[in-house]
Amino acid sequence: MSLRKTSFPPIVADDTRLLILGSLPGEKSLAAGEYYAHPQNRFWHLMERVITQPLVSLSYGDRINTLLRHKIGLWDAVQSAERQGSLDTAMRAIEATDLPSLVSRLPDLQAVAFNGRKSEAIGRPQLDEMPLETIALPSSSPAHTAMTFDQKAGEWDKLQQFLR
């Protein structure tokens, strides 16, 4: 069994204004072929608050379509890595995604938000020279237990400014 895991293609539209970057999908997400598929990951709950519309109760396809309607895209900072399990700390031989190439194709993009420290550590250096706001967010992962949901939500709510 290969330990090499590969990210999904970016989910964006021509009018994407906010791009949210994870690190690399976990085992449950990879198995389901869906971003943030682990039932304890709080991503969809946090985004539901940000856009003030239901997401959690929707099918995956409807969740994605709702984000795109709100001009929100998803991708990862890691294209592929060797990893046993789902933890970011277990990643080795990391190959980063080509963020500058994607960003250059999104003329309305205003900000990139990093879902967790690993995403930020890998993604931010690629975007330093680009005229974008970058936002570090606490991870939505169930492994990130240092903050309560409400504390995380207070930080994630900052994304609303890019949706007006």
Q: How many CB atoms lie within 10 A of CB 19?
A: 27
Give the integer Cα–Cα distance in Å for 3 and 84: 6
What are the catalytic residues?
Answer: 41
Which tokens sit at 138? 């606490």
- At 47, give phi and psi (nearest 5°): -70, -30
Which tokens sit at 30? 């990879």
| Sign of the Cα pseudo-torsion (90, 75, 72, 26, in order) | negative
